[in-house]
């Protein structure tokens, strides 16, 4: 089986990946030839692994050597056990909603996939930007704000949570809209159905930066638009045990019983 390691493949913890049954490859190459991606790092490495696959139906096994490791499944000491179970087909494959993000600009269109969020934000401190939100082709409202996040349930515990957005179980299929420091009375997040397409249009005179899963994507000018919709190609994660989301949330964020 071909296995791609994303992250630091020279760590001693990755030595268990070197066996006669596994061939380590250095790129995604033909997705049909990949059987597994092992992400060695933190949540950012998991996001990079999903982005590299670009929708290919290959499961990702996360090995946490980062700080929070919210998306990762195993600690380095359990990697060998996890691989043994994977090859014995004794694991679950969890699907996570991914957004197809398309920027429509005067120079053309560009496409990305987002596991966490697409963020449209102001370029300069001390200013706000004007962003018109459309839902299913109908205008909803225009936000005067620092920006807007369009997030997945997975991303609800990332940037959106820092912006006071709701926490959504990643098993849900939904699209989350969270305004960033809005200068208006309506400052609530919206939780939409996964089939409700979202479009954000830049209005006013100030440019807006688009960031996808923490990576700067493009600068948008007035009149440019970004559309976000649920992808028909979800991210696939290897899970050793059934996850109780609220307990994972409690453990990762150090919540007490009282």
**Residues annotated as part of the active site:** 43
Beta carbons of 80 and 13 less than 8 angstroms apart: no
For residues 37 and 130, give the distance between their C-alpha atoms in angstroms, rounded to a whole number.
40
Nearest to 148 by CA among 200, 98, 110, 191: 200
DSSP 92-121: EEEEE--EEEEEEETTEEEEEEESSEEEEE
Q: State how far the Cα of 83 lies from the Cα of 38, in Å rounded to an integer.
A: 10
- DSSP 3-state of 191: strand
Give the DSSP letter of residue 205.
S
Give the contacts of 255 (CB within 8 A, at least 6 positions apart).
249
Sheet containing 117-122: order of strands: 190-192, 175-180, 147-151, 117-122, 208-212, 215-220
Calpha distance 43→41 (Å, rounded): 7
CA 36 – CA 123 distance, rounded (Å): 39
Structure token digits, residue 12: 């001693």
């Amino acid at each position: 089986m071909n296995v791609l390691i994303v992250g630091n493949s020279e760590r001693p913890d990755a030595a268990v990946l070197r066996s006669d049954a596994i061939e380590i490859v250095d790129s995604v190459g033909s997705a049909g030839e990949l059987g597994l991606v092992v992400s060695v790092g933190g949540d950012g490495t998991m996001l990079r692994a999903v982005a590299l696959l670009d929708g290919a139906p290959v499961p990702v096994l996360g090995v946490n050597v980062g700080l929070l490791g919210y998306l990762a499944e195993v600690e380095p000491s359990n990697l060998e056990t996890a691989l043994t179970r994977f090859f014995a087909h004794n694991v679950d494959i969890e699907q996570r909603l991914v957004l197809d993000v398309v920027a429509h600009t005067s120079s053309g269109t560009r496409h990305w996939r987002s596991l966490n969020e697409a963020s449209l934000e102001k370029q300069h401190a001390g200013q706000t930007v004007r962003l018109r939100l459309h839902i299913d082709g109908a205008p909803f409202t225009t936000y005067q704000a620092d920006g807007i996040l369009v997030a997945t349930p997975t991303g609800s515990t990332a940037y959106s949570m820092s912006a006071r957005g709701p926490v959504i179980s990643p098993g849900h299929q939904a699209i989350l809209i969270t305004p960033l420091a809005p200068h208006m009375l309506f400052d609530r997040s919206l939780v939409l159905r996964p089939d409700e397409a979202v479009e954000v249009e830049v209005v006013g005179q100030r440019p807006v930066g688009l960031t996808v899963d923490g990576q700067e994507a493009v600068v948008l000018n007035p009149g440019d638009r970004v559309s976000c919709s649920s992808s028909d190609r979800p991210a696939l994660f290897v899970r050793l045990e059934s996850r109780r989301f609220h307990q994972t949330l409690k453990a990762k964020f150090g919540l007490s019983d009282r």
